[in-house]
Chain A
Amino acid sequence: MDKNENEKQDFGKLVLQEVTGESPKAKIQKRSVWQVIQIPFLAILTGLIIGAILIVATSQTVWTAFAESIWKGFSTAGKELGTAYWALAEGSLGNIVTQIKAVSSGDDAAIRAAFNPFLESLVQSTPYIFAGLACALGFRAGLFNIGVEGQLFMGGIFATYVGYSITGLPPYIHAPLAFLAGALGGAVWGMIPGLLKATTGGHEVINCIMMNYIAYRLTAFLLTGPMTRPSVAGMPLSPIIEKSAEIPQFFPSPIRFHLGFFIALGFAFLVWWILFKTTWGLNLRVVGANTRAAKYAGLNITKTTIIGMAMSGALAGMAGANEVLAVNHSMATSLSSGYGFDSIALALLGNSHPVGVILAAMLFGVLKNGATRMMVVSKIPIDIVTIIQALILIFVAAPPIIRAIYRLKAPKKEVATAVTLSGWGRNK
């Protein structure tokens, strides 16, 4: 293991120690925490600034106001922006005034309603956590799993099938069974590119992309054929899953907050534990960091690659299973609008560390959920949030831009991108 690897490990411990507050060396390490988070933090800030400029620049009202007078233009721009970002915040985190009022009134329904925006953000971030973990685990093992989207669909299909075809099971068996079926579906789909890489040397990126196409078409075939809902025969829609297969939601409708979020956190912990606390996880990271060295050290590259891809696929499958079992309760061809691809970026934003992935996933969930409110209130298209997300990721992926803007000194070693870059073209 080289020095770089050590630094990565340090970062992992460090964030956790920060979170749990148990670090004996917290004072010494505080500065380097800032170093680690400064790029993501400034990237988010810059993304929001440019997003603001776009919102103002594309607003017809602002242009009309500018035509009248410059002062009016600026005040209108400020007002538009205030409304938009306020709606973004209110829609994703809730209105603090309403929340305080609700809590002090002690009315259950009011409290639930006041905190629903935040809970909904967590609902939105759950599939991101699973999918982000899948990518992060892949990156750690030196594998670029771009097939998360396809694995997610297979997870959804497997979970749906177990969810509606088996009846009469008690919920505490049926729901876990369906969820694990989803994990299995993803694992199988992820293992195939892993096998191909280990045995034939076929690059996992290409094979994963191809497996994505197969997964989409297979899903469409199954949903219009063998797995179609009889009442709408032929339409690409599955039957509704049994009540016993549902991952429970905690509150009555319209609050969708469900157990899946905590399951995701549990798996994040598990991934962290496997990666950083087990010998096997160490092997995985060593293979990821330097295949030749790992081979020289006598590690079984073939086995690690196959199992690494299968585990990554299983996590991706869980993302699909989670969406079906906890939120949608049936499967359609539009299960995901790109969780699998966003998660690649998300893992990068989170530095391929489970804690980073959770935080990045929550950022994505918050932005995505707040965008709906922003659209309702100020009619700014949801796409603007996609642009903001994209900008943030560009800045994270290219730290020199941020350093140039904010005049930061470059660190001696590139911590943020090393994990990802090691995924390319190593195992030859």
Chain B
Amino acid sequence: MSRKLLVALSALLVVVFALSACAPAATPTEAPVVETEAPVVATTEAPTEPAIVFKACEVTDTGGVDDKSFNATAWKGATDAQEQLGIEAKYLESKEVADFEKNINAFIEEKCDIIITVGFLLSDATVAAAEANPDVKFSIVDQGYDTVYPNIVSQVFQTDEAAFLAGYLSAGVTKTGKVGTFGGMNIPTVSIFMDGFARGVAYYNEVHGTAVETLGWNTETAEGLFTNDFSDQQKGREMAVTLMDEGADIILPVAGPVGLGAAAAIQERGNAYIIGVDSDWYLTAPEYAAIELTSVMKLMDGTTFSVIKSALDGTYTGGKIIGTLENGGVALADFHDLSSIVPDELKAELETVKAAIIAGEIELNPVYQQ
């Protein structure tokens, strides 16, 4: 250890103390800094409307903003709004239950124009904050309420409509006459996929006089196959192997990342296909592109975007937005690389079925009516 090192370290210390002295010095300038920053952002991104300082703020649940699921999708809606509408988007991640209220309060203090909360875990905190702050606008993703609050917009999804199409498609594509599904937990947001899927298969049988069988979900008893886990991919692998052994050649796993385990098992076996959920797996899990037939998508980015837009242009009213096939809130993804294995007449039929669902001519399970 030389004397030079000592000098260098002392110099570092001096710099540090100087820096720490800088921080309090920022006191008087702090407020102006915030004010000047916002117009700069606005002018660079939306030169036509330089005066807008509109903040859309998202509080994630414990999954975090990069969960590749609803937190991430909702955040994409907010960043889309940032790019297209010239607003400012911010987020806070929650690590535990106690953070929900804290983060919402931090955004209320920040005077956010709309606060977007994600998932059922935040439902209590959102209602409490909305009642305590009647002039702050809220929107909660993937959670409905029995009561209508004037300053909460619930974003809910009629997912069974898109799953119905996936079922119809699968029944038309299967070679073995058997398709399978399994879920993470027997809760409504999961089983809505499985129920719609099974009904789609049944409808295909009705139209074509076939006898394609759905493994893993019984529409009569509302029971089926569940991993009781949303994180262990090994369980997804086991489920997929079981279903394939039973003869299923198309599988819909409704269990978040557990489904990736199923995809791995199917890819190894090589004679079956998988249907993704929530987002287009062709884009989020491209390593399994060869076996990804399609995905049943919940487009929370779209609904989040439209809620932000409504708050921005003054058309915001409390209640709920239901993502449907009609408004594009739920959809069947493109077939991408596997487009060739889907016959053209089946594609045409899917369009007809879709139109029939939108027109209300095909009845889905009323239990899942959002």
Q: B-contacting residues of A (Cβ < 8 Å)? A: 45, 48-49, 52, 78-79, 81-83, 85-86, 89-91, 95-97, 120, 124, 127, 224, 232-235, 237, 240, 253-254, 256, 323, 327-332, 334-337, 369, 372-373, 375-377, 379, 381-382, 404-407
Known interface pairs A337-B99, A372-B103; 14 further A-B residue pairs with C-beta atoms within 8 A, sorted by A's residue number: A78-B22, A79-B33, A81-B19, A82-B26, A85-B20, A86-B23, A96-B27, A235-B187, A254-B105, A327-B97, A332-B121, A334-B61, A372-B92, A376-B106
Residue interface mask B122-153, A partner, CB < 8 A = 1? 01100010001000000000000000000000
Q: How far is the CA of A334 from the CA of B95 in the complex (A)?
A: 8
Query: Nearest 6 CB-CB pairs, A to B?
Result: A337-B95, A234-B187, A337-B96, A254-B105, A334-B62, A82-B26
Q: Do B19 and A78 have beta carbons less than 8 Å apart?
A: yes
Q: How far is the CA of A337 from the CA of B61 in the complex (A)?
A: 12
Q: Do A89 and B23 have beta carbons less than 8 Å apart?
A: yes
Nearest residue (CB) in B for A252 is B132
Q: Do A253 and B121 have beta carbons less than 8 Å apart?
A: no
CB distance from A375 to the nearest CB of B (A): 6
Give the chain B neighbours of A234 by CB distance below 8 A: 185-188
Asked whether any CB of chain A lies closer than 8 Å to the CB of B101, the reply is: yes
Give the chain B neighbours of A91 by CB distance below 8 A: 106
CB < 8 Å neighbour of A328 from B9, B16, B97, B123? B97
If A45-B16, A334-B96 touch, whether A372 touches B187 (CB-CB below 8 Å) is no
CB distance from A134 to the nearest CB of B (A): 18
Q: Do A376 and B110 have beta carbons less than 8 Å apart?
A: yes
Interface residues of B in 1-43 (CB under 8 A from A): 1, 6, 9, 12, 16, 19-20, 22-27, 30, 33-34
CB < 8 Å neighbour of A330 from B19, B27, B102, B124? B124
Q: Do A376 and B90 have beta carbons less than 8 Å apart?
A: yes
Q: How many residue pairs between the two chains, A and B, have CB atoms under 8 Å in the bound complex?
A: 110
Q: Do B98 and A235 have beta carbons less than 8 Å apart?
A: no
Nearest residue (CB) in B for A335 is B97
Give the chain B neighbours of A254 by CB distance below 8 A: 101, 105, 108-109, 132
A interface majority secondary structure: helix
Give the chain B neighbours of A83 by CB distance below 8 A: 26, 30, 33
Q: How far is the CA of A285 from the CA of B34 in the complex (A)?
A: 53
If A82-B26, A86-B27, A337-B62 touch, whether A373 touches B97 (CB-CB below 8 Å) is no
Nearest residue (CB) in A for B61 is A334
Nearest residue (CB) in B for A89 is B23
Nearest residue (CB) in B for A369 is B102
Q: Do A376 and B92 have beta carbons less than 8 Å apart?
A: yes
Q: How far is the CA of A52 from the CA of B12 in the complex (A)?
A: 12
Nearest residue (CB) in A for B29 is A82
If A49-B16, A334-B96, A375-B92 touch, whether A406 touches B25 (CB-CB below 8 Å) is no
Nearest residue (CB) in A for B112 is A376
Asked whether any CB of chain A lies closer than 8 Å to the CB of B107, the reply is: yes
Q: How far is the CA of A48 from the CA of B102 in the complex (A)?
A: 24
CB distance from B63 to the nearest CB of A (A): 10
Give the chain A neighbours of B9 by CB distance below 8 A: 405-407
Nearest residue (CB) in A for B63 is A334
Nearest residue (CB) in B for A97 is B27
Q: Do A382 and B121 have beta carbons less than 8 Å apart?
A: no
Q: Do A327 and B110 have beta carbons less than 8 Å apart?
A: no
Give the chain B neighbours of A78 by CB distance below 8 A: 19, 22
Q: Do A52 and B62 have beta carbons less than 8 Å apart?
A: no
Q: How far is the CA of A67 from the CA of B188 in the complex (A)?
A: 53
Q: Do A120 and B107 have beta carbons less than 8 Å apart?
A: no
Q: How far is the CA of A389 from the CA of B323 in the complex (A)?
A: 42
- Jot down 12 A-B pairs with beta carbons below 8 A, ordered by A: A49-B12, A79-B33, A85-B23, A97-B27, A232-B120, A232-B123, A254-B105, A256-B102, A323-B97, A328-B98, A332-B97, A376-B92
Q: How far is the CA of A256 from the CA of B97 in the complex (A)?
A: 14
Nearest residue (CB) in A for B120 is A235
Q: Do A86 and B26 have beta carbons less than 8 Å apart?
A: yes
Q: How far is the CA of A240 from the CA of B124 in the complex (A)?
A: 9
Q: Do A407 and B22 have beta carbons less than 8 Å apart?
A: no
Q: How far is the CA of A377 from the CA of B37 in the complex (A)?
A: 11
Q: How far is the CA of A235 from the CA of B61 in the complex (A)?
A: 14
Give the chain A neighbours of B121 by CB distance below 8 A: 237, 332, 334
Give the chain A neighbours of B186 by CB distance below 8 A: 234
Give the chain B neighbours of A331 by CB distance below 8 A: 97
Nearest residue (CB) in B for A117 is B109
Asked whether any CB of chain A lies closer than 8 Å to the CB of B93, the reply is: yes
Q: Do A382 and B93 have beta carbons less than 8 Å apart?
A: yes
Q: Do B106 and A372 have beta carbons less than 8 Å apart?
A: yes
CB distance from A425 to the nearest CB of B (A): 33
Q: How far is the CA of A79 from the CA of B99 in the complex (A)?
A: 28
CB < 8 Å neighbour of A82 from B25, B123, B185? B25
Q: Do B98 and A81 have beta carbons less than 8 Å apart?
A: no
Give the chain A neighbours of B34 by CB distance below 8 A: 377
Interface residues of B in 211-243 (CB under 8 A from A): none
Nearest residue (CB) in B for A254 is B105
CB distance from A210 to the nearest CB of B (A): 18
CB < 8 Å neighbour of B24 from A86, A124, A330? A86
If A375-B92, A376-B92, A407-B6 touch, whether A82 touches B22 (CB-CB below 8 Å) is yes
Nearest residue (CB) in B for A253 is B132
Q: How far is the CA of A133 from the CA of B12 in the complex (A)?
A: 36
Q: Do B102 and A120 have beta carbons less than 8 Å apart?
A: yes
Q: Do A376 and B120 have beta carbons less than 8 Å apart?
A: no
Give the chain B neighbours of A224 by CB distance below 8 A: 185
Give the chain B neighbours of A372 by CB distance below 8 A: 92, 102-103, 106
Q: Do B97 and A334 have beta carbons less than 8 Å apart?
A: yes
Give the chain B neighbours of A127 by CB distance below 8 A: 98
CB distance from A257 to the nearest CB of B (A): 12
Give the chain B neighbours of A45 by CB distance below 8 A: 16
Give the chain B neighbours of A256 by CB distance below 8 A: 101-102
Nearest residue (CB) in B for A96 is B27
